[in-house]
Chain A
Amino acid sequence: MPPRPNAPLSTTALALSLALALAWTPGCGGDPGEAGAPTESVSGEGIAPGAPATSLELPGEIASPDRPVTSVEAVEDETEALADSLIEFAEVLRKRQFDEAREWFSPELVAHAAIGHAEASRAALPLGVERIKYDVGASSGVGRDGFIDSLRVLLGEWRSVDSMLWKVKGASFQRGRSRWGRLDLKIHITGVDASGGMVSVHGRGDARVTRTRGRFLLDQLLLHKWEVERRAAPIFTEVAASTGLAHTWARFGTDANNSFHWNGAAAGDVDGDGDWDLFVPSDDQNFLYIAQPDGTWTDEADERGVGSPDSGTGAVFFDCDNDGDQDLMVGHTGWPLAGGKMGGERCRIFLNDGAGQFADAPGGPGLQEPFVAYTLTVLDFDGDGWLDVHVCGYGRVDVEHNNSWTEASNGSPNGLLRNLGTDEDGAFLGFENVAAAAGIEDVRWSYAAASADVDLDGDADLYVANDYGSNRLWINQGDGTFVDGSEAQGVVDKGSGMGASFGDLTGDGSLDLYVSNMSSTAGSRILGRLTEDIDAETHALLKKLAAGNSIFTREGDGFARTPGEQGGIGASWAWSPALFDVDLDGDLDVFCTNGFVTGELAFDT
C-alpha cells in the first residue's frame, strides 16, 4: 500500500481548499490563486453555495422582437443554426472545457448564475429521490466570467457529467441588419456527483442572442426554473462487461454498422436448467447467451446452431412443436432485387432438441414466404393448443417511400403464421400464412404488436402499432377471423407507432395498453417541414405527435387515453416499452428505449 497521509483532510478543509483552488470570485476573472472571497459552502450540496458577492442588474424580462421575422422557413433556419450551435456548446460544457465554453457568450452577458440561488422547496420523492427547487427570481445577475465560474463550481465537483442538453424550445428574431432573437431555452444536465450519487439539473429560461460577426452570442439569460434532483445511488448498475454480455461494435453510420433495420432480443430457458438464456440477433453476428451458474453468460450461438443467418429483427422463443422445449423463430427484413422489386426474407424456425441444440427447420409453406418482418408475437389465435405467430410487416424502405405520412398503405403485408402441428410420427409440419383469411393481412407499416384477451371472451386479440398512420386493435371473433376494433375502443393512436405492451397500469385488475411513438421534437420537426400550408387536421396530428407515448387505460368496453399531466409518456423517439414493477411496490412501472441515432458530432438533424 502507498503511504497514506497521517492526518486526512477533513471535509471542511477539503471544502476550503476547493474554494481556494477554484478562486470562486463572482463577477470577476476567477483567476486561480487570486485572493477571492470563498463562498461559505462549495462542498456539501455543491449546487447552491451562498449568493455571489457582486451582482449585476438583470432585465425584468427578455424583450420580444417588435419587428419579428415572419417567414416560417427563415425562423426555422435561424433556430436550427442556433440549436446546432448550442449542441456544440453543450458538448464542450459536458467535457467541462469551461474556457472554450466562454465563446458562446457575449462579454456583456447578464445572466442568472448556475449556483447561488435561494432554496424554494425541498421534496422527498419515492425511492429516496430528493428534488430541490430554487427561487431563481430572487437572485441578481452575474457577468460572463461569473456565469462561467458558476458552471465551473456546479460541475467541477462531479465525478462525471453524463448528459448535457441546451435545447431551443422556441425562438423569434428581430428583422433587420443587427439581428437579435429571443429564445425559450431548456437546460438538462445529468451526472454523478462528488459522493457518487446520481444528480440531474433541470432549467428553463428565456435568453437573448445577438448576431455578432456572423455568429449568435448569448447576452442575456433569465432563468425561471432551476431544479436539482438527486439519489444517493443509481437504481440499476450496468454489468454487461462483468457478466460476459458486452459487445462493442462500430458507431452507427460507419461501414460496419449502417443498416436501417433493427435487431431484437429474446429471453428463454433453452437448455432447461432453470435460468434465462438470451438470443440477440445482430447484423454482424448472432448471440445465444447461455446463462451460467456464476452469474455470467457465454455466447454459444454457433455451437448450438443459431449462428446464421445474421441480421434478424424480431425473435421469439416458444414451443412450436409441443415437445416441451423452447424453439426459436427469427424474423428478417429482406433485400432489394434488381428492377426495384423487394425480395423480402423468410422467417426462420430453429427446433430445439431438448438440450438446447437447434436445427434450422423448413417450417412449412408459411416460412417460405418473404416478409419485411419486425416484431413477432406468439399467440394461439385459433385455440387449438398449437402456438401461432403474428408477423409485423414494415415497409420496403430500400426501394419505396411511405405513400403517406399520416396513413401509409404501402407497407408489406402482415402475416399470421398458423401452426400446422405435427404429423402422426411427431414430425413438425410448420406454419401456413392465414393472414388474408383471418382478415389481418394489413399493409400499414407495422413495427410492433402485442397480444392479450382484451375483451375477455377467451380468445387472443392483437394490437398492432403502425408507423406513418393508425394503429389497429384486432378483435378475435373466435372463428379464426379478426375484426378491427381500434376506432370503437379508442386506440387508433394515429402517428408513428413504434411499440406496444399490455399491463395493468392502474391497479384495477384489467389490462391497460402502453404505446410508444416517435414523437415530440423529431416528429413535429419532420412533419412540420413537409408543407407550408398546414391544415387543421395536420395541425391536430402535429399536436398529437408532440404528446409523446400513449397510455390507454381499460374503461368499460374500451380504452381511455390517460391525460399527459399524469406523466409516463414523455419520451422522444421511443421504441420498446416494458411494463414491470421496478421497486416491487405493487404497481407496474414503465421502461422504454429511446433515441434514433446519437452521432459523435455536435449536430442533430
Chain B
Amino acid sequence: MVASSCSSAPESGKFAREEVGNDGFLARHNGQIFAEGRSFSGNERDKLFLNDGAGSFLDLSDLSGADSPNDGRAVIAFDADDDGDVDLFVHETQRERHAMYRNDLGTAPGFVKVKLRATTGNAEAIGAQVEVVAGDRKVSQVLSRGAGFISCQAPELIFGLGGAPAATVTVRWPGGAVEAFGEVTLGARALLVEGAGKAEAYGAAPRPLPDPKPRGLLVSVGDRIAPFEVLDAAGAPVLIDPAATGERVALNLWASYCAPCVAELPLLEEWDAAEDMRVIAVSVDAPSDRARALELLGQRAPALGVHLAGDPRPGVRTIQDVVDLARLPLPTTLMLSPDGTVEEILRGPVELR
C-alpha cells in the first residue's frame, strides 16, 4: 500500500489517470507531508513474536533490541557469524538504513544446520521441505529464495533442538521424493545430498561479529575531542577545549531528569577538586528544563562549572558533534587524556564501576 492522503476514493472501474512528468501524483499528494517531517503510520516498530510451542505467540518486540523505528522493509534471517543461532539483517527506509542484529541468546538448547544439494531436480533444491524431529518437537522449513517482502534468505536452514541431543532429518525433495537421512547430532552442520541417505558434515566457519560501538556516541576510544561549543548559565556560547587544561578531563553528560546523573554530581565535584583532573559536566536538558538543571547543580555540586547543551549550529562544532543526544544513554562520561583523547567511556553511574 502506498500512502494516499487524498480523500477521494477512485471510482470503481475508472482510472484516475493523470498526465504527469517525472513528478508523480504521489509525490505531490504525499511527498509534502513527509518533506515536512510528518509521520504516516510512524513509530510502528519491527515485531518479534515468540512461539510458545503450543500454537500461541508472545510479543517480545519491546525487549528484543531489534524493534527499530526506522521503518524496516526487507529482512534476512541467517546465521551471520556461524555460531548456530539466527541473526537478522534489516533494510530500513531511512536514517540508519542497514541494521545488523546479532542474536545474543546463545546456543545452549542446541541446533543443527542444514544445506541441501539435489541430484534430480534443481541442484540447489529450492523448494525442498526439511523436517526435523528432536525429542518431542517436530518442525519443517522450506528452502526458499525470495519470500517475505523483497527478501532473499540464505540457502541454509537452522533447526533448534530444544535441549535434545540429536534429531532425525527427513527431506521432501523438489519432485516429491521423500528421503530419510537418519540421525544427526547436536551442533551438526549437515550437507544433505539427494540419494545419499546419510548426512555429510560441512565445515564450520565461525566469524564472531564485533561488539557494537557505544550507543549515542559519535566518537570512539582513541579519538581526540576537538574544541566544541556549549552554553553557559546565561545561555551564551562558550568554547570548550578539553586539551587546554593540560590535565585529564572527565567529560560528563547528564540531565536533570536522570536520577543517577543527579546522584553522582557530588562525586564529580570531588573529582574536579582533585589536583590532576578537571570535570566538564554538560547538562543536555531541553531549554524548558534548564532552570531545574541549574538548581540541582547549585544544590548538589555548586563548585562545578555550568555547561548546557545548545542546539546544533551550522558551521560551529557543538557538543552534538560529540554525542547523539537522541540516542545517548545517561549518564555517560568520557575519560580524556591531557591531550583530549578519549581513553575510556563510562556508562551508567561512575561510582558503581
Contact = CB atoms under 8 A, between A and B. Distances in A.
Contacts of B53: 507, 585-587
Interface string B278-292: 000000011011001
Contacts of B58: 125-126, 129, 567
Contacts of A126: 50, 52, 58
Contacts of B78: 267, 276
Contacts of B5: 605
B17 A507 contact: no
Contact of B94 (A251, A529, A603): A251
Given A196-B348, A385-B122, A605-B33, A450 B17 contact: no
Nearest to B91: A265
Nearest to A242: B210
Contact of B260 (A194, A505, A604): A194
Contact of B139 (A3, A199, A318, A507): A507
Interface stretch (A58-66, A135-143, A233-241, A429-437): A233-241
A543 interface: no
B150 A448 contact: yes
Interface in B291-334: 292, 295-296, 299-300, 327-330
A576 B99 CA distance: 15
B43 A243 contact: no
Contact of B145 (A32, A280, A316, A496): A316
Nearest to A151: B257
A287 to B, nearest CB: 7
Interface in A1-47: 1-5, 8-9, 14, 17-18, 21-22, 32-33, 42
B150 A601 contact: no
A416 B317 CA distance: 55
A378 B111 CA distance: 27
Contact of B45 (A95, A230, A316, A594): A594
A353 interface: no
A604 B34 CA distance: 10
Nearest to B203: A274
Given A198-B63, A380-B127, A457-B176, A235 B48 contact: yes
B158 interface: yes
A525 to B, nearest CB: 9
B139 A596 contact: no
Interface stretch (A112-120, A207-215, A399-407): A399-407
A338 B19 CA distance: 8
Contact of B91 (A251, A263, A457): A263
A481 interface: no
A422 interface: no
Contact of A243 (B100, B127, B299): B100
Contact of A453 (B37, B66, B97, B127): B127
Contacts of B330: 159-160
Contacts of A402: 10
B20 A585 contact: no
B44 to A, nearest CB: 4
Nearest to A24: B259
Contacts of A498: 1, 149
Nearest to A386: B122
- Among A278, A448, A498, residue most surrounded by chain B Cβ atoms (within 10 Å): A278
Nearest to B286: A97
B127 A587 contact: no
A322 interface: yes
A385 B96 CA distance: 40
Nearest to A251: B94
Contacts of A378: 126, 144-146
Contacts of A485: none
Contacts of A264: 73-74, 91, 149-152
Contact of B147 (A262, A269, A377): A377
Contacts of B142: 451-452, 502-503, 511
B146 A316 contact: yes
Nearest to B109: A584
Given A336-B24, A401-B16, A504 B123 contact: no
Contact of B27 (A230, A258, A503): A258
Interface string B89-115: 111011111111111110111110000
Interface in A283-335: 287, 291-296, 313-319, 322, 324, 331, 335
Contacts of A590: 47-49, 51, 57
Contacts of B60: 127, 129, 231, 235
Contacts of A196: 347-348
B145 A317 contact: yes
A583 interface: yes
Contacts of A100: 286, 288-289
Given A238-B99, A252-B71, A263-B73, A595 B127 contact: no
- Among B10, B151, B213, residue most surrounded by chain A Cβ atoms (within 10 Å): B151
Contact of A192 (B14, B103, B148, B329): B329
A578 interface: yes
Interface stretch (A168-176, A360-368, A486-494, A515-523): A515-523
A265 B149 CA distance: 9
A280 B145 CA distance: 15
B352 interface: yes
Contacts of B174: 380, 383, 453, 458, 460
B33 A239 contact: no
Nearest to B11: A403
Interface in A105-164: 125-127, 129, 152-153, 155-157, 159-160, 162-163
A593 B149 contact: yes
A196 B16 CA distance: 53
B20 A604 contact: no
Interface in B171-229: 172, 174-177, 203, 205, 207-213, 215-216
A198 B216 CA distance: 17
A426 interface: no
16 contacts: A9-B352, A18-B260, A159-B347, A239-B210, A258-B34, A260-B3, A268-B154, A375-B146, A377-B145, A404-B12, A452-B144, A500-B147, A568-B51, A583-B160, A597-B34, A600-B37
Given A229-B62, A376-B152, A568-B49, 15 more contacts: A95-B286, A156-B259, A239-B210, A257-B93, A275-B205, A315-B152, A375-B147, A383-B121, A387-B124, A448-B150, A449-B147, A504-B138, A511-B129, A571-B47, A595-B42
Closest 9 CB pairs of A and B: A234-B65, A458-B176, A253-B34, A264-B150, A584-B160, A568-B57, A398-B24, A593-B72, A586-B137
